[in-house]
Chains A and B, each alone.
Chain A
Amino acid sequence: MTSAGPLSFQDLILELHRFWSAQGCVILQPYDVEVGAGTLHPATVLRALGPKPWRAAYVQPSRRPSDGRFGENPNRLRSFHQYQVILKPNPPDMQAMYLASLEAVGVDPTLHDIRFVEDDWENPTVGAWGLGWEVWCDGMEISQYTYFQQVGGLDVSPVAGELTYGVERLALYIQGKDSIFDLAFNSPQSPDFMTYGQVYLENERQFSAFEQEAADVVMLKRQFDDMVETVNRLLARSGRQGQALVLPAYDHVLKASHLFNLMDARGSIAVAERQSYIGRIRDLCKQCAEAWVALEDRAA
């Protein structure tokens, strides 16, 4: 830590990077396609599958169009940051590692009430589920901790352990702030000090308006259909080395998923249609998962 006092938003991320790097994780950059959660990064969804060991950590900006509050709610954002760790196979002392990471960012477990509260995690759009917990710190959910059992409808073996820290939540907690926009983004001692609001408030305002009011529903629907078609087309082709084009196909699944979220935020998806949209995305994801596992098996 470079300064006294609680970690700034960016130092929190840097500390987590340092910590998980020391545990053998490759530190990746955010995926450059819009996603609703860090789990959807191919480094988690695809790499969780197959027999090869894998340890990775990264920050993933996550877009949740329906959660937008136009920058007016101090606790809700339409885009926030998840810090994602994936450990395959999960080490036997993963819980202890997680708790050590909290200490590393300044949460003293002898002064706070840290609890593992049952949470059966499920993401129907990627056909994934696992058992684990929400981790509570003094009643606030600061992380999700999951032992993946299935992804893309396929069994995850060996089991991958996934940690997802809500970076804003954790920072609120560590800095003792009541509003996300008041978070110290960099060090308050810095002459170039910036708050979270100075960096992102305008994004919240503009994107809430776009996502909930201005997005063109007819176009979104057309684009969704295009993405679905593209996934099918890419999975039917082969690359120069004879492999299925799983990674680009999966990118288009992510795009379809985000388009669905946008349509949902515009209120243009009837409850009756919802399941059918989710089912289409899940099927595409399952096809990618199967193609990925086939590649992995071929390589092994």
Chain B
Amino acid sequence: MPQFLLELFSEEIPARMQDGAARDLARLAREALAQADLGFVDLRAYAGARRLTLVVDGLPAAQPDRREERKGPRVGAPDAAMNGFLRSAGVAREALVERDGVWFAVIDRAGRPTVDILAAIVENLVARFPWPKSMTWGSGTLRWVRPLHSALCVFDRQVVPARIAGVRFGDLSEGHRFLGARRPFRARDFDEYREALAGHFVMLDAQARRQRIVERARDLCAARGLELVEDPGLLDEVAGMVEWPVPLLGDMDPRFLQLPPEVIRTSMRTHQRYFAVREAGSLALAPHFVCVANIETADGGALITAGNARVLAARLDDARFFWDADRKIPLDQRLEALRGVTFHADLGTMHARVGRIEALARAIAPAVGADPALAARAARLAKADLGTGLVGEFPELQGVMGGYYAALQGESAEVAAAVRDHYRPQGPGDAAPAAPVSIAVALADKFDTLAGFFSIDQAPTGSRDPFALRRAALGVIRIILENELRLSVGDIIGRTAFGADAAMAKLAGFFADRLKVLLRDQGRRHDLLDAVFALGDDDLVRLTARIEALGDFLATDDGANLLAGFRRAANILAAEAKKGPLPEGEPARVAEPAEEAALFDALVAVRPRMDAALAAEDFAAAMAALAGLRAPVDAFFDKVLVNADDEVVRAGRLRLLAGVRDEMRKVADFSLVSG
């Protein structure tokens, strides 16, 4: 079956966009082929530094023929209507068929040749490709991520006649810029193409490039008794920057190891895209690095390695200059400078913010087991490193550098750790602080941000979250849950400098939403979250324990049946409530029938067990207590008619059902449980 091969050859595509581009290319092609009624066996897309490639195997030579029936006027309709229909359908009067007094035109459409359809698909795909950022070049109007030069575009070994102004279509491509023949080559199918690329020093497949980088880098390190510090994010990026990856091991002046390892790692990773290296079996960095070149050279990369080592040395020299200069000024002295730093136009200076965080950290401290004086001290110093030279040079090291400078000026270990860790967790892969003083400052920092921005009506909307408030709220939630902190979120919000008003109520709701998102991502059922959140508790540890226990309970036979019983009771109560007010007051025991008496007894027996279990926050025990209602509830609905003719009897039974419903509501709003 015929194959389609497309390569879009451009100037260098940013590495971070390549994976997304390959996915978009595959998706757009799949959608377009489906719309054109063209089936296929296999479809793959590749992305690299200078090319996007699409291969579709097993396409038909043409679209299938299609028969279409179009409804026309009634039999006996005026001539004008008939003629209009014939014209629009493009058929003769003799070709119409009549069914149930209506004319139908039967139109046979021969399938178009696949090659023509592909030309249109490619033109359309290039025109509306969703690059995150695109540009125009020269005098043209076409948009692409960087100038697009040519397209190798063949179907069934024939060039597809697509046309885009400024882009050469054909069966030609190019290999590596500097290795091999450095001349265009011809390819008419994927096997020829891939082979030619390899012969021209281009590895097409990003996964293969990643693998080669890791394997060769590991080997280089092992040969010198070293170990590569693996870094998947960096690997993805580097694999997108090279067509022919050649890892090289370089040396660094060992004196730089006196710098904090974070500084060395950041300089290597962020500025130079080098992998760090450590001594085998040790956590300490070794005075080496691995860079990944895009070329094999006659000198085995000697010049390249030396050049890279020189650049790294220059960067680290500068870092050392700042490291030496920064340590001469105590952090306390840097606080004044924060008066000149605006946090946000409506939320004051960074200096004012430090004052707020300090007060809040002190207030939170007792609840998280921290010394209030230490928490306040750490909060006071937490932002002082923003004025240091190293943080100016490496903004991503905020906090980390503050931690070093705090320790060096003799602050206690708890305070230094809190300064270092108070921004954390900074993403799903980052650990939440666990030491009490760090927790107090981290919570104070995030609550001040959240309450502040909510107070000036800057809550996130849709995909807009310019102040990363979702991440801050999620950070609070993780700190609370992972450390099993018993706090009321609403209480802390009330203690921020922004008071308690409508905006703060909105913030409490925002936390609930973020917690729901987190728990849903962890696989918890959405309806169970709703059922528990309906109780209005803002102790996040208790909330999750309830959800856990509720899920377990509903998975049991008793739970499932009791849920059914709850629904029946709730439905009856709801239906009766429409007729008039439900009877008030506590249920009372009746002698007859036995099932009603048994349910009453069961309810009376369950109540103290429930209350004890809830007081102890033992939600599994609470659910076990509820399980005691299951059999009597089933028997009651089996044998007893709630809507008795006798009004007194009916009212008694309704009170009993309301009692059961209310007892169950102590653990969750079962009416929100679905399924």
Which residue numbers of A lie inside 8 Å of B, CB to CB? 69, 73-76, 89-92, 95, 99, 109-118, 120, 130-133, 137-140, 147, 149, 157-159, 161, 173, 178, 270-272
For A93, the closest partner residue in chain B by CB is: B149
B340/A139 in contact, CB under 8 A: no
When distances are taken between beta carbons in the complex, the residues of chain A under 8 Å from B241 are 115, 117
Asked, given contacts A92-B149, A130-B135, whether A270 binds B178 with beta carbons under 8 Å apart, the answer is no
User: Does any Cβ of A come within 8 Å of B272's Cβ?
Assistant: yes
Give the docked Cα–Cα distance between A173 and B306 (Å): 11
A178 to chain B, nearest CB (A): 7
For A146, the closest partner residue in chain B by CB is: B135
User: Does any Cβ of A come within 8 Å of B133's Cβ?
Assistant: yes
For A141, the closest partner residue in chain B by CB is: B311
User: Does any Cβ of A come within 8 Å of B341's Cβ?
Assistant: yes
B307/A270 in contact, CB under 8 A: no
For A133, the closest partner residue in chain B by CB is: B12
Give the docked Cα–Cα distance between A116 and B308 (Å): 16
Residues 261-316 (chain B) with a chain A CB within 8 angstroms: 272, 274, 291, 293-295, 297-299, 303-304, 306-308, 310-314
When distances are taken between beta carbons in the complex, the residues of chain B under 8 Å from A271 are 340-342
For A173, the closest partner residue in chain B by CB is: B307
B318/A149 in contact, CB under 8 A: no
Interface bracket on B: 35 or more
B298/A111 in contact, CB under 8 A: yes
When distances are taken between beta carbons in the complex, the residues of chain A under 8 Å from B304 are 111-113, 138
Asked, given contacts A111-B297, A113-B294, A139-B312, whether A159 binds B303 with beta carbons under 8 Å apart, the answer is no
Give the docked Cα–Cα distance between A234 and B342 (Å): 35
A-contacting 9-mer, from B136-144, B438-446, B538-546, B638-646: B136-144
A116/B312 in contact, CB under 8 A: no
Give the docked Cα–Cα distance between A111 and B135 (Å): 32
Q: Give me 12 A-to-B residue pairs in the complex whose CB atoms sit less than 8 angstroms apart, sorted by A's number.
A: A69-B321, A99-B177, A113-B304, A114-B178, A115-B241, A118-B12, A137-B307, A140-B307, A147-B135, A147-B146, A159-B139, A178-B314
When distances are taken between beta carbons in the complex, the residues of chain B under 8 Å from A157 are 136, 139
Asked, given contacts A89-B139, A92-B149, A110-B298, whether A138 binds B303 with beta carbons under 8 Å apart, the answer is yes
User: Does any Cβ of A come within 8 Å of B16's Cβ?
Assistant: yes
Give the docked Cα–Cα distance between A208 and B153 (Å): 58
When distances are taken between beta carbons in the complex, the residues of chain A under 8 Å from B310 are 140, 178
B137/A73 in contact, CB under 8 A: no
Give the docked Cα–Cα distance between A132 and B314 (Å): 25
Give the docked Cα–Cα distance between A112 and B145 (Å): 26
For B302, the closest partner residue in chain A by CB is: A111
B177/A109 in contact, CB under 8 A: yes
User: Does any Cβ of A come within 8 Å of B345's Cβ?
Assistant: yes
B135/A270 in contact, CB under 8 A: no
Asked, given contacts A270-B340, A272-B342, whether A149 binds B308 with beta carbons under 8 Å apart, the answer is no
B307/A158 in contact, CB under 8 A: no
Question: Could you give, for residues 103-145 of chain B, a 1 whenever the CB lies within 8 Å of some chain A CB and a 0 otherwise?
Answer: 0000000000000000000000000000001011111000001
B177 to chain A, nearest CB (A): 7
Pairs A-B, 10 closest by C-beta atoms: A138-B307, A118-B14, A272-B342, A139-B308, A116-B12, A270-B340, A113-B293, A158-B139, A139-B311, A131-B135
Residues 1-30 (chain B) with a chain A CB within 8 angstroms: 11-12, 14-16
For A91, the closest partner residue in chain B by CB is: B138
Give the docked Cα–Cα distance between A196 and B349 (Å): 44
A115 to chain B, nearest CB (A): 6
B239 to chain A, nearest CB (A): 13
Q: A92-B147, A111-B304 are in contact. List 17 more A-B contacts (CB 8 A).
A: A89-B139, A91-B138, A109-B177, A111-B297, A112-B295, A112-B303, A116-B12, A137-B307, A138-B303, A138-B304, A138-B306, A139-B272, A139-B307, A139-B311, A159-B137, A270-B341, A270-B342
User: Does any Cβ of A come within 8 Å of B491's Cβ?
Assistant: no
A226 to chain B, nearest CB (A): 25
B136/A159 in contact, CB under 8 A: yes
B321/A73 in contact, CB under 8 A: yes
User: Does any Cβ of A come within 8 Å of B317's Cβ?
Assistant: yes
A115/B294 in contact, CB under 8 A: yes
A114 to chain B, nearest CB (A): 7
Residues 129-177 (chain B) with a chain A CB within 8 angstroms: 133, 135-139, 145-147, 149, 166, 177
B143 to chain A, nearest CB (A): 10
B307/A120 in contact, CB under 8 A: no
B137/A140 in contact, CB under 8 A: no
Asked, given contacts A113-B295, A139-B307, A272-B342, whether A118 binds B135 with beta carbons under 8 Å apart, the answer is no
Give the docked Cα–Cα distance between A113 and B274 (Å): 14
B311/A76 in contact, CB under 8 A: no
Give the docked Cα–Cα distance between A270 and B137 (Å): 39
When distances are taken between beta carbons in the complex, the residues of chain B under 8 Å from A117 are 12, 241
Give the docked Cα–Cα distance between A147 and B138 (Å): 9
For B179, the closest partner residue in chain A by CB is: A110
When distances are taken between beta carbons in the complex, the residues of chain B under 8 Å from A133 are 12
When distances are taken between beta carbons in the complex, the residues of chain A under 8 Å from B11 are 95, 116
Question: Could you give, for residues 183-207 of chain B, a 1 whenever the CB lies within 8 Å of some chain A CB and a 0 otherwise?
Answer: 0000000000000000000000000
B135/A149 in contact, CB under 8 A: yes
Give the docked Cα–Cα distance between A147 and B179 (Å): 26
When distances are taken between beta carbons in the complex, the residues of chain A under 8 Å from B291 are 139
A109/B137 in contact, CB under 8 A: no
Asked, given contacts A73-B317, A76-B318, whether A110 binds B138 with beta carbons under 8 Å apart, the answer is no
Give the docked Cα–Cα distance between A38 and B137 (Å): 21
When distances are taken between beta carbons in the complex, the residues of chain A under 8 Å from B321 are 69, 73
A140/B311 in contact, CB under 8 A: yes
A246 to chain B, nearest CB (A): 24
A149/B307 in contact, CB under 8 A: no
When distances are taken between beta carbons in the complex, the residues of chain B under 8 Å from A137 are 307
Pick from A73, A95, A109, A178: contact of B318, CB under 8 Å: A73
Pick from A73, A130, A147: contact of B147, CB under 8 Å: A147
Asked, given contacts A112-B304, A117-B241, A271-B341, whether A92 binds B138 with beta carbons under 8 Å apart, the answer is yes
Asked, given contacts A95-B11, A138-B304, A173-B307, whether A120 binds B177 with beta carbons under 8 Å apart, the answer is no
B135/A109 in contact, CB under 8 A: no
